[in-house]
Structure 1
Amino acid sequence: MSKVLVLNASYEPLNITSWRRAIVLLLKGKAEQVEHNGKCVYSDFPLPTVIRLRHYVRVPYKEIPLTRRNILHRDSHSCQYCGYTGDDLTLDHVIPRSRGGDDSWENIVTACVRCNVKKGNRTPKEANMPLDYPPRKPHSGLYFEVTKHVKNGGHQEWRKYVIGI
């Protein structure tokens, strides 16, 4: 069947769980249904797509690692200069390292080899190559998982609960 977005009591996304686990939380009274897709588990029990916990759960902050895979995912596996999508993407420093640019979420984007070479050791403004989207740090690790489901065409109702999609 499908996955279910679990929200904290404050409506902030906590995680994604299976529909079975969501049903158990609902039946035990630990959560309430916020959204459903119209399908039913039983004749009068709709299958949830978003549930909210009744009591607030404190979650420790977890840093999202700056990795090639995470940057590619954030940028939707496309060149941030020309929009090319393919297998031969590289990582480009918006402000080159030789000019004081650092390795951070706000300074690294995906670029095709052609655009990376064309930009060279210049800033996007100097190279007259504007970015499609300014690079930014993702809000949470859950952001990646949720965007994967939303961009695949499913769970559009999750958009209103996650910042930055």
Structure 2
Amino acid sequence: MRQVLLLNASYEPLTTLPLRRAVCLVLREKAEVVHPADSGAVLHSATMAIEVPSVIRLRRYVRIPFRTRVPLTRAALMRRDNFRCAYCGHRAETIDHVIPRSRGGKHTWENCVASCSPCNHRKADRLLEELGWALNATPVVPRGAHWRLIGVAGDGDPQWAPYVTESAA
């Protein structure tokens, strides 16, 4: 399904939403089209026509509660690790706790990494020192407002680039 980037009234990126929801916001005059889609497609009704939007902006500012820490989700963790296994560098499908939870490890950004299934299975509930393994990169907490847009920065419409970069967030 086609996604549309939603900006706050201050042009701060908020999220992406389905095309249908974006068009509803525009028709209710709660949002305005900032960039139409490159395809030039137009949606028609009996009485009006509207260009298919790529980026829309809310007409009223929506206050976003300040979070000191980005929530740990599977999608965010995979994005942080670039969908690569922290042990071997192959494509990651699972999440692994560096210090296993069975040994007192916490479910935190600093203790979780993306992992391929074979490495995750081989590691099981052992420590890296017991296997002689090392991490390719130290796990860290992601920072910045752009983390609200998981999956957008690299996968979205090219017109979104000015709004989803770290410097814009």
- Per the alignment, do residues 69 and 55 of structure 1 end up closer, same or farther by CA in structure 2, a change over 3 Å counting? closer
Q: Structure 2 unaligned runs (5+)?
A: none
Residue 56 in structure 1 maps to residue 61 in structure 2: yes
Q: Structure 1 unaligned runs (5+)?
A: none
| TM-score normalised per structure 1 | 0.62
In 1, Cα distance between equivalents of 2:133 and 2:139: 16
1:23 is displaced (CA, Å) by 2.8
Counterpart in 2 of 1:157? 159
Q: What is the count of residue pairs matched by the alignment?
A: 153
1:102 is displaced (CA, Å) by 5.2
Counterpart in 2 of 1:142? 148
Counterpart in 2 of 1:21? 21
In 2, Cα distance between equivalents of 1:59 and 1:90: 29
1:92 is displaced (CA, Å) by 4.0
In 1, Cα distance between equivalents of 2:107 and 2:86: 17
RMSD of equivalent CA atoms: 4.1
**Residue identity opposite 2:162 in structure 1:** K
Aligned-residue identity in percent: 37
Counterpart in 2 of 1:8? 8
Counterpart in 2 of 1:36? 36
In 2, Cα distance between equivalents of 1:163 and 1:139: 10
Show CA shifts across 1:90-142 (max 9, x none): 5143x899xx975421342223454985x9445xxx966542x7533364673
| TM-score normalised per structure 2 | 0.61
Residue 79 in structure 1 maps to residue 85 in structure 2: yes
**Residue identity opposite 2:31 in structure 1:** A
Show CA shifts across 1:64-88 (max 9, x none): 543556534543432134321154x
In 2, Cα distance between equivalents of 1:72 and 1:46: 34
